[in-house]
Amino acid sequence: MNNKRFYFLLLIFSISFFSCTVYKQVKFEGLSNLEVVPYTFAKTKVNADLKVNNPNKYNIVVKELQSELFINNEKITDYNLYDTSIVIPALQDYIHQLKLDVSTLTLLNSALNLNNTDSINYSIRGKIKVSAKFVNKTLPIDYNGKISARDLR
């Protein structure tokens, strides 16, 4: 009888513990410090800072990231991280430095479509696998933003 009581209490404890660990989604807050570095005729390196906010009272660990970057609704590159352990501190912003390889032709086509505007529309789409308090989640990424011309280097 004691074993049944122990397992029942363990089950109740587990359910209550894991139900309290529901956490808020990590927020993507945009790209900044965009730097375009010519690399070869076919490829261009683009460096940028991706600002991410953790609204939770505990650290979030990024396990995997699969994303696509679009400029003016045209896909320019993929950005993926596998088997990582990037820690986003509790209740803080985190800056992740992106290093992207982009087709020079695709980047030039996107630049020609700007039509003398002072900003670039971009979007990041994909999914991110995160972990916190023994709970793993896969969350969607669907962020839209603008980069001002003065933020380009």
3-state secondary structure 48-89: EEEEEEECCCCCEEEEEEEEEEEECCEEEEEEEECCCCEEEC
Among the listed residues 82, 90, 85, the one whose alpha carbon sits nearest the alpha carbon of residue 52 = 90
- Residue 143 reports pLDDT greater than 60: yes
- pLDDT digit string, tens, across residues 16-52: 555 555 678 888 888 888 888 877 788 889 899 999 9
Most confident by average pLDDT, 56-70, 96-110, 111-125: 56-70
Q: What would the mean pLDDT of 75-82 be, rounded to a whole number? A: 90
Q: Which of 114, 44, 125 is nearest to 72 (CA)?
A: 114
| DSSP structural state of residue 149 | G
Q: What is the pTM of this model?
A: 0.76
Distances (CA, A) of 133 to 61, 87, 93, 130: 10, 13, 19, 10
Mean pLDDT (whole number) for 107-124? 75
Tokens of 91: 């209740």
**Mean predicted lDDT score pLDDT of the chain:** 82
Task: Return the CATH superfamily for domain 24-151.
Answer: Immunoglobulins (2.60.40.10)
Q: Of 55-59, 110-114, 124-128, 129-133, where does mean pLDDT reach its minimum?
A: 110-114
pLDDT of residue 14: 61
Q: Where are the domains of the chain?
A: 24-151
Res. 62 pLDDT band, cuts 50 70 90: very high
% of residues, the chain, pLDDT over 90: 26
Residue predicted with more confidence, 107 or 33: 33
Residue 150: is its pLDDT beyond 80?
no
